[in-house]
Amino acid sequence: MPPSLTKQITQIEGVRLAGAIDTEWGITIKYPGKSAKGTIIAITPHRSCNSSPDDNCSPLALPALTHPHIHLDKAYVHSTREYAHLLPAEGSFQEALSFTTQAKKQFNQADLMKRGEWLLAESVSAGVTAMRAFVEVDHTVKLTCLEAGLKLKDQWKECCDVQIVCFAQDPIFSSEYGHENRDLIKKALERYPQIDVIGTTPYVESSTDAARRNIDWAIETALKLDKHVDFHLDYSLDSSEEALVWYVLQALQRNNWTSQSSIRRVMLGHCTRLTSFTNEEWSDLAKEIRNNDLPVSFVGLPTSDMYMASPYPAANAPHNRPRGTLHVLKMIREHGLGAIIGVNNVGNAFTPWGSADPLSLACLGVGIYQAGTQKDAELLYECVSTRARAAIGLLGSRGGSGLMLKEGDQLDLVLLHNVDDTGCNVLRPRKSVADVVWDPPARVSRHIISNGRLKLPPHPMYPGTARYAFKNSDA
């Protein structure tokens, strides 16, 4: 069940901010009109942390975390007894597709709600207050996953803004079930206006022509219904394969996306084929997006990509296993592209490893991208926080860059306290964003604030609430 929340916070005292960690600050919050969402109206310096030897006690206040791409219905299949016969035997992509298809035949409402709550609880406790959640609609599951996802969206709305993606993992323009799958997607979109995003997987179609039809249909339907669109795209390391990203950009221009949809965005996920692009191709891609004002973002999914996007090795070089995932930091810095990272899957055949904590993903990025500077760490945090939130098109987002809180920001925060979680009476401080990304602190050190209200878990190690003032309450 969703966690308990405090009353609305009106003041936070004695916190450190990114970019100003040597000063303690006070944050004042207001709730305009009858709004349930708190907005920061003042940030005031209090004292220098350097003036006290006990400066480690001041928590670091950062923007809340975001899941820009996560599969709600397939989470933690491996943790459920009913699917014990579907644990990976080979670890291949084709096996993952096959086992997931078999697992989906067993999905039911109670099972989906249970595993969905596991994912939401793990995510919210880590600091996630917004997510884009994929739920599949096809001839196997019909609308079962979608209906569970919409129910969870409503139940958890006080602590997490859940965008629901009506997702076609299976073909919609090929295979014997393509027409039925497409009709079910149409039915879902007609019945449930709460759906936020249309998602498809062009690369599972049987031909390039069918993949293009898939793309055209998704874009045209999203424009007609005023939805975001999200493609699983170009999931291959084979440089001889056509990169369909170019076709997506052409289709957006052909359909006048920017002029017809001012706030809806387009997300392209995986896109490992792009890792073999030349610098000239990257420049052309960035120019195409920029010159046509296309609201396109890319999401790298490292835990899945590094596990799945790996061709079989040559017989004479069995240890040579190329891996690929979008180099999001280079995409941002060298080409000015909108690029972020996401968890994608947890506890299933596509990604049997990793956690739902976006900070663990940011930490992994340090190694994957050889990004060891403090500036790198700050950008990686943005990629699972502010940039991710902007990329999924949430209204009221900060715009993406920068972690320093400012007036006008919505009060969705993570306060990172220094907590002794070792049981050895030894406290190791984490003073900066880099400290947090390089070695993410335990969940018990994190105060999660969503829409101006503090999550209150019943844990004896959880830091106290004396630094907060609450609306119509002293505690």
Mean pLDDT, range 16-24, rounded to an integer:
93
Residue in the block written with tokens 């890319």: 298
pLDDT band, very low/low/confident/very high, at 475 (cuts 50, 70, 90): very low
Long-range contacts formed by 427-435: CB under 8 A, 24+ apart: 427/56, 429/56, 430/60, 431/16, 431/21, 431/56, 431/60, 432/18, 432/21, 432/60, 432/374, 433/18, 433/60, 433/62, 433/374, 433/377, 433/378, 433/381, 433/403, 434/373, 434/374, 434/377, 434/378
Mean pLDDT, range 201-223, rounded to an integer:
98
pLDDT number for residue 397: 46
pLDDT tens-digit readout, 410-468? 999 999 999 988 889 898 889 999 999 999 999 999 999 999 999 987 677 778 888 99
- SS3 assignment, position 166: strand
- Indicate whether 16 pLDDT > 80: yes
Domains in the chain, CATH or no CATH each: 5-63+401-470 (2.30.40.10), 65-371 (3.20.20.140)
- Indicate whether 474 pLDDT > 50: no
Nearest to 383 by CA among 41, 54, 32, 68: 68
Higher pLDDT, 10 or 37: 10
- Indicate whether 473 pLDDT > 70: no
pLDDT band, very low/low/confident/very high, at 389 (cuts 50, 70, 90): very high
Most confident of the following: 161-175, 259-273, 454-468: 161-175
pLDDT band, very low/low/confident/very high, at 52 (cuts 50, 70, 90): low
H helix intervals, 255-397 = 257-260, 279-291, 302-308, 328-335, 358-368, 374-383, 386-391
Mean pLDDT, range 336-340, rounded to an integer:
98
Average model confidence (pLDDT) for the chain?
Answer: 93
pLDDT band, very low/low/confident/very high, at 56 (cuts 50, 70, 90): low
Contact 447, 418 (CB under 8 A): no
pLDDT number for residue 310: 74
pLDDT number for residue 37: 87
CA–CA separation, 109 and 100 (whole Å) = 17
Phi, psi at residue 446, to the nearest 5°? -105, 120
pLDDT number for residue 398: 52
Phi, psi at residue 431, to the nearest 5°? -90, -25
Taking the CA atoms of 329, 332, 334 and 337 in sequence, report the sign of the dihedral they define.
positive
pLDDT band, very low/low/confident/very high, at 399 (cuts 50, 70, 90): low
pLDDT number for residue 395: 61
Contact 162, 133 (CB under 8 A): yes
- Indicate whether 55 pLDDT > 50: no
Query: Which of 76-80, 182-186, 246-250, 391-395 comes out lowest in average pLDDT?
Result: 391-395
Residue 95, burial from CB neighbour count under 10 angstroms (0-12, 13-18, 19+): middle
Mean pLDDT, range 63-82, rounded to an integer:
98
pLDDT number for residue 352: 96
pLDDT tens-digit readout, 146-158? 999 999 999 999 9
CA–CA separation, 350 and 93 (whole Å) = 7
Residues 6+ apart with CB under 8 A from 99: 86, 88, 349
Indicate the residue type of 239.
S
Measured CA to CA in angstroms, residue 210 lies from 68, 179, 215, 217 at distances of: 27, 12, 9, 10
Higher pLDDT, 401 or 113: 113
Contact 138, 184 (CB under 8 A): yes
pTM value?
A: 0.96
Residue in the block written with tokens 């209204």: 395
- Indicate whether 311 pLDDT > 80: no
pLDDT band, very low/low/confident/very high, at 87 (cuts 50, 70, 90): very high
CA–CA separation, 251 and 233 (whole Å) = 14
Percent of the chain with pLDDT over 90: 82
